[in-house]
Structure formats: structure tokens, C-alpha cells
């Protein structure tokens, strides 16, 4: 069961507020999805995520296929029962991980051969096998296998990669239709920096009719202006009544700029990874909680923040936890950053509904959000 | 404010059930105190400890003196406000840490000179300076500086160490009395394996009149029979109406054997350290949660256990978290082990009150507790 309702659109930019209802779970959009690569959002428990009103998290089929292995998750009754996570799960297919993590890879029209980044073992995945893996893992929203390329790359290489990605999308859809599955399949729009290719991708992928559309291959090192321009270009071509997911983005500012270019869904390891590196979000930027200036600072990370960490602990104590490598420190900064992101998305969504995005944007750039 | 009420004593062994009331906090005894060396019980939050009904935790003055430093804790309003921990705190003096951790140490009658195990910096602590440090840290119960010795050691060396420990106790008491402090000072009974020295220690230390008495220098590698015998010997000499604390113990079986020898308070890193090494307590012993046999085991760590971890997660998932080094795994096993210890102490206490310790003991050795 997959439904997407558009609730509001702002009049200046066309930023969208909506609701995804997937397998009984409601997800308000625009949404930021925390990453739990190995079926756990690093350092935090499911209940800590519920407390922050997080309704969807992301796992990675590539990682879960390697550890613990699909058979174990399937035998345990799927990813929800395995992890105890009662809200929505999305799995990425692993296309990007094969491209970025595997020690060796060989992409053919048939599929992707690669060596595991963990033990060097050889694997061969096809669009069909990936759909079966994701079906067995049992997330609510799944991605098909795609071919990722570095940005920029020669047109010809990008074109060939896209041709394969489109063919794989078709095979993925066919395989997915043959299964009795509660998963919901998105289509991925590739095409590197070439608008001509992005346009072709949208036309062919949208024709296959997916539950939603992902914009892939961005946020991989290209300049922000390029990313924003391509995002805008792609969303201008996508159908209005399906959600749009910009993969691997990102920082609050990138999310804002992408929402006003028509994106609904985001994921990034950034808020959680930064947290473990002592970098915490506050209006106007970030603080390094290890800074010696905080050694006797009795303030919370962010004045007025209502997250668990800010309600209970000072900067001085969290700094001490980092200095002594106490695990609680990593958790407290993670909770804060995820809470910050959730509040950021909520305020942004409200500004869309009240047609006030310009004020939100100004407040953000003034360092007030 | 320090009070100790004896609630019950079993008729067979003389095991004691009581209540310590310290600065408004009630602590039911016998009690196991989780260790939070750096003012944080590793991997868990204060609220997770409250959920397990833990009313007292232990910090270490040696570690806190080095990091974050006493001035910072004092400036932050003391250890309770610094950490957010609203229940009782006990600090060990650091005598054992100077003995076991410092890179270099020189004990004179005046005090202890040592090099930090963190950065090699030189420090000199006296009984008086340690009392001032602990007063500034501001725990509810504090220990005086003592001289620790390996077991066994020559009588003459043990006797000299004890003479210094007793003199330091006297100086500590005097310094403590000169302060306007909410801390409550215990006396430590040393004497190595020599009953003659232990007897002298009890006589001289008890005469000084402390809030409670700690048995130090045991559980440092000696045989269990020796530890039990010395514990029994010391408690037989101690006044009934003061709590007795066996420092650094321990495992459930050692706690049981010590409670029936008249001990009221315990601390050990064992339950939390074992948890981080994937070793979890169950009736009858321990399990290594990393065991491949658990890879698809949908049971909780311990059937029927009502801890957060067992109510929500399977062995298979926790094993997966350990295999992928996810921090949540360390937390879940820590919560379970501390919950197990708390329940163990509660049942033991109830068996004392109902004069049924023999049944508890039998159940424990039959692997039912």
C-alpha cells in the first residue's frame, strides 16, 4: 500500500508539503530520513527515534546482504521484526555502495560483479536478484539497482551507464511485479550532469510507473549550483503526484534549496556522522562540542532546544564525555542533530503549508533556524 | 545526612537487609553499585539507570581529578549537576588506581606521588588533598586515600602499608571534619591476607567512627576461599549498625557469598565491562551473544526478563549489532546485565527479609536465578 497526498505548495517556489502513507505508516513530507546502514541508526535506539517523531529510516541492501545476510533477516520475519523498528523502512539497492565501497567491480548489462569491502568475497548481483534481496529484507520502500558514475564524466560513458540503468529499472519492475510483496518500488533518475540524459531518464523511467522517483548520482562532489540546477531540471519534468527523493542529501541548507526545487524526501549520514565527530547543529551553523571553550559551559548544546540531550545535559558534560570517549557522548550529539533535523523539516513544512517559505528561508540564512 | 537502618537479618547466615538514606536518597541494601569511572556508566544514560531502579553509582576521584579536573566539576555545581544524575554518587579515593594504573608511584607517609596514566604528568596527593578533591566533586559517599598492596605480600610490607593507611584515615577524618560538606566519609579496612592486621585495622578505624566501613584490598587475584574467609573475619569484627562495603566485588556468586558473610554494598566494572565484550548474564551463567548459534535466534537474551533489551530485541539482532560494531549493541547488553544485577540483589534482599536465604542460594546454584 503506497499513497502520496499533496497537502500544499508554496506560491513562490512550488515547494511541496505532502503525506506518504506506506503500509499504514504516515510520513509527512518533506522528510529527512536518518540512515541506519546496518539496520540500526548509529548510537540510538528505535525508541529514541520515535521520541523525535521519526517515521522512516533507511537501511542499505548492499550492507545487509553482506551482514547479517538476507536469509537471516528473512528467517527473523523481515527487517521490522529483526530490528524491532515499528515504523517505515526504506532500503537503498546498493548500486551506490558497489560503486563507492566495493574493492573491485565490473558492471555488465547483465549485472554487477564485485568484491565485498569486508572480506573480499566475490558477489554477482543482477537487478532481479537485488529486488529479491530487498523483498526478503522487507522494507516498505525499495530502490532498484542502478549504475552510478562520477561527476563529471564523458557524455558517452554517462549515456551508456544510463542505458543500463534504464534497462535495469525495467527488469526490476518486472521482477517486482512477479512477487507478492508489500515493498514499494521507486524509479531512479540518473544521467550525470547532462540534461539531455536526465530528460531521457525521466521520460523512460516515468513511463514504467513507479511509486516514487529518486534523483540519483548527485551530491557526489559536484558544485552546489550544478546540483541545484540539475535538481530543478529533473523535478520540473517529474509528475506532480508522486514523491521525489534526492538521494544522499544532506545538509540543512541543501535540503532547503532542494525542497524549494520540488524535492520531498532526503537521506544523509551527515547529521549522525557529524554528531559522532562532535559536530552539533545549531541555528546558524555547527559547533564542535570538543572545543575547550565549552569546558565549563553549563548551557545545553542549543538554548531552548527540547531534545533529550538539551533538556538534561550541559555542553561541559558532553565535552567531557567526548574527551573520555564515553559512548553516551556520541549518543547525545546524535539525538540532538536528528532532533534538529526533524524540527527543521517540520518548520519548513509548516512554512510551505502557510505559504511562508520566503520567511523560513530568510530566517535560515539569518542564522535563526 | 547519612543513616543506615537494618531491616532484617536471616537466621541461618546473618545476611543483612537494610536501607541507607543519604542526602535524601534511599538505597536498599544489599546493593550493587554500577561503576561510572568518568562520571558516566559506560554506554547508558541516567534515565536508563533510573528505569532499572538504580539509586547509587560510583565515580572515581583519581580519574575525575585528571579529567575533566576538579575545578570544572566544582564550577559546574558538583558531580550531580555536572552529570545530571539525580540519585546518589559514591567516589572512590583513587588509592587503588594509583596502585594499579599510574605509570610510576612513590608512597611516603606524607602522601602519594604518581604519574598520570593518561599523559605522564606528575601529581602528588595527600589524604587531605584527596578529601578536598572529593568534597569539591561532591559525591554523597566518599572514601579516604589508602595504601593498596598486592595479595599476598610479606607481612612486614603489609603492616607498614596498613600503618600508613590508618594514619591517613585519621588525617582524612580530621580534614573532612574541618569542611562544611554534604559528603559522608567511610573508613577502609586494609591488612592484606593477615587476620592480625585486619583485626588491628578494624579496631583502629572503627574507633575513629565513620559513616560506614569498606573492606579494601580483596578481589585482587587471591583465591575465592581466602577472600570469603577474610570477608567473614572482618565483618565479624565490624559494628552491626554501620554499612559494610566490599570494594571491587563483583560477580553474582561472589556477591551472594559475601552477603551471607555480612556485606551490604558492592561495586564492580564486571557487569558493564562483560556486557561490552558481548557476555550477558542469565540464570546459571553467561552467554556470549556473538556466538554463531544465535544468528537466527528470535528469543530475547533471557526468556522472561523484563529489561528494555529483552522486551524489544532478539539475540539475533543484538549479535548482528555486535558483529557490525554498532554502539546500540553495547548499550543493550549493558542494560540487560545491570537489570540482571538489580533483580539479583532485589531477590536476595527479599530472601533475607523473608528469612529464606537458603532457598535463594540453592536456586542460584541450581542455575535458576
DSSP string, B193-247: T-HHHHHHHHHHHHHH--SEEEE-S-SSS--HHHHHHHHHHHHHHS-TTS-EEET
pLDDT band at residue B353 using 50, 70 and 90 as cut-offs = very high
pLDDT at B98 over 90: no
> What part of B 289-328 touches A (C-beta under 8 Å)?
295-296, 298, 312-314, 316-317, 319-321, 323-324, 326-328
Give per-residue pLDDT as tens, B269-319: 999 999 999 999 999 999 999 999 999 999 999 999 999 999 999 999 999
Give per-residue pLDDT as tens, B224-280: 999 999 999 999 999 999 999 999 999 999 999 999 999 999 999 999 999 999 999
Does the beta-carbon distance from B84 to A313 stay under 8 Å? Answer: yes
> Nearest to residue A242, comparing CAs of A183, A185, A198?
A185
Long-range contacts, A346-353 (Cβ 8 Å, 24+): A346/A28, A346/A53, A348/A15, A348/A30, A348/A255, A348/A256, A348/A259, A349/A17, A349/A28, A349/A29, A349/A30, A351/A10, A352/A8, A352/A9, A352/A10, A352/A15, A352/A16, A352/A17, A352/A30, A352/A259, A353/A7, A353/A8, A353/A17
pTM of the model: 0.97
Take residue B338 and report the three cell numbers written for it: 545491570
Mean pLDDT, range B63-74, rounded to an integer: 97
Give per-residue pLDDT as tens, B69-88: 999 999 999 999 999 999 99
Chain A partners of B312 at a C-beta cutoff of 8 Å?
A: 46-47, 84
Closest to A40 (Cβ–Cβ): which among B43, B295, B321? B321
pLDDT of the residue at B100: 85
Q: Return the domain boundaries, chain A.
A: 28-268, 279-369
Averaged pLDDT of chain A: 97
CA distance B126 to B103: 18
CA distance A10 to A232: 15
- Determine how many CB atoms are found less than 10 A away from the CB of residue A325: 10
Q: What percent of chain B has pLDDT over 90?
A: 95
- Omega before residue A152 within 30° of 0, cis: yes
Give per-residue pLDDT as tens, A110-169: 999 999 989 999 999 999 999 999 999 999 999 999 999 998 899 999 999 999 999 999
Cβ of A213 under 8 Å from any chain B Cβ?
A: no
Chain A partners of B296 at a C-beta cutoff of 8 Å?
A: 72, 75-76
DSSP B290: T
CA distance A122 to A352: 48
Q: What percent of chain A has pLDDT over 90?
A: 95
- Determine how many CB atoms are found less than 10 A away from the CB of residue B209: 11
Contact by Cβ (8 Å): A79, A183: no
CATH pick for A28-268 out of 3.30.70.100, 3.50.50.60, 3.20.20.105, 3.40.50.2020: 3.20.20.105
CA-based nearest distance A199→chain B, Å: 40
CA distance A269 to B324: 16
**Which one is predicted more confidently, A33 or B104?**
A33
pLDDT band at residue B103 using 50, 70 and 90 as cut-offs = confident
On the CB side of A343, how many CA atoms lie within 13 Å of its CA?
18
pLDDT band at residue A98 using 50, 70 and 90 as cut-offs = confident
CA distance B83 to A312: 9
Give per-residue pLDDT as tens, B136-151: 999 999 999 999 999 8
* Backbone angles phi and psi of A125, in degrees to 5: -120, 140
Query: What one-character-per-residue DSSP string does A248-261 give?
Result: T---HHHHHHHHTT
Contacts of B11 (CB under 8 A, 6+ apart): B355
CATH code: domain B29-268 is 3.20.20.105
CA distance A289 to A301: 8
CA distance B165 to B180: 24
Strand bridging mode B16-22 / B25-29: antiparallel
Angle at A61 between CA A56 and CA A62, to 5 degrees: 140
In this prediction, the answer to ipTM > 0.85 reads: yes
Cα B336–chain centre separation: 18
Name the closest residue on chain B to residue A311, using Cα atoms: B84
Cα B147–chain centre separation: 18
Strand bridging mode A285-288 / A279-282: antiparallel
pLDDT of the residue at B343: 98
CA distance B267 to B170: 25
Give per-residue pLDDT as tens, A62-71: 999 999 999 9
Of A150-154, A213-217, A296-300, B327-331, the one with minimum mean pLDDT is A150-154
pLDDT of the residue at B322: 98
pLDDT of the residue at A70: 98
pLDDT at B102 over 90: no
Strand bridging mode A88-92 / A184-189: unpaired
CA-based nearest distance A313→chain B, Å: 6
Amino acid at each position: 500500500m503506497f499513497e502520496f497526498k499533496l497537502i500544499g505548495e508554496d506560491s513562490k517556489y512550488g515547494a511541496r508539503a505532502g503525506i506518504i502513507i506506506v503500509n499504514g505508516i504516515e510520513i509527512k513530507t518533506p522528510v529527512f530520513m536518518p540512515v541506519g546502514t546496518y539496520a540500526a541508526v548509529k548510537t540510538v535506539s528505535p525508541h529514541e527515534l520515535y521520541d523525535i517523531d521519526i517515521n522512516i529510516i533507511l537501511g542499505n541492501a548492499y550492507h545487509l546482504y553482506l551482514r547479517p545476510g538476507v536469509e537471516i533477516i528473512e528467517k527473523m520475519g523481515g527487517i521490522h521484526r529483526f530490528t524491532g523498528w515499528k515504523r517505515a523502512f526504506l532500503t537503498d539497492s546498493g548500486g551506490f555502495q558497489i560503486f563507492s565501497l566495493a574493492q573491485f567491480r565490473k558492471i555488465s548489462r547483465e549485472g554487477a560483479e564485485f568484491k565485498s569491502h569486508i572480506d573480499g568475497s566475490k558477489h554477482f548481483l543482477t537487478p532481479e536478484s537485488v529486488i529479491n534481496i530487498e523483498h526478503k529484507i522487507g522494507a516498505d520502500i525499495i530502490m532498484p539497482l542502478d549504475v552510478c558514475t562520477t561527476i563529471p564524466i564523458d557524455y558517452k560513458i554517462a549515456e551508456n551507464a544510463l542505458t543500463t540503468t534504464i534497462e535495469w529499472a525495467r527488469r526490476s519492475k518486472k521482477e517486482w511485479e512477479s512477487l507478492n510483496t508489500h515493498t514499494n518500488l521507486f524509479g531512479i533518475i540518473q544521467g550525470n550532469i547532462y540534461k539531455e540524459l536526465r530528460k531521457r531518464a525521466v521520460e523512460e523511467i516515468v513511463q514504467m510507473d513507479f511509486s516514487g522517483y529518486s534523483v540519483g548520482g548527485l551530491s557526489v562532489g559536484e558544485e552546489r549550483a550544478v546540483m541545484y540546477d540539475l535538481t530543478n531540471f529533473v523535478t520540473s519534468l517529474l509528475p506532480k503526484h508522486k514523491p521525489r527523493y534526492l538521494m544522499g542529501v544532506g545538509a540543512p541548507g541543501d535540503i532547503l534549496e532542494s525542497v524549494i526545487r520540488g524535492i520531498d524526501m532526503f537521506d544523509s549520514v551527515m547529521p549522525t556522522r557529524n554528531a559522532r565527530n562532535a559536530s552539533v547543529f545549531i541555528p546558524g551553523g555547527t559547533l564542535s562540542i570538543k572545543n575547550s571553550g565549552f569546558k565549563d559551559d553549563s548551557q545545553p548544546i542549543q538554548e531552548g532546544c527540547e531534545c533529550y540531550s538539551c533538556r538534561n545535559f550541559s555542553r561541559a558534560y558532553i565535552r567531557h564525555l567526548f574527551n573520555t570517549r564515553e559512548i553516551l557522548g556520541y549518543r547525545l550529539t546524535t539525538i540532538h542533530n536528528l532532533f534538529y533535523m526533524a524540527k527543521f523539516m517540520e518548520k519548513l513544512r509548516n512554512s510551505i503549508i502557510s505559504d511562508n517559505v520566503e520567511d523560513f528561508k530568510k530566517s535560515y540564512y539569518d542564522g535563526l533556524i
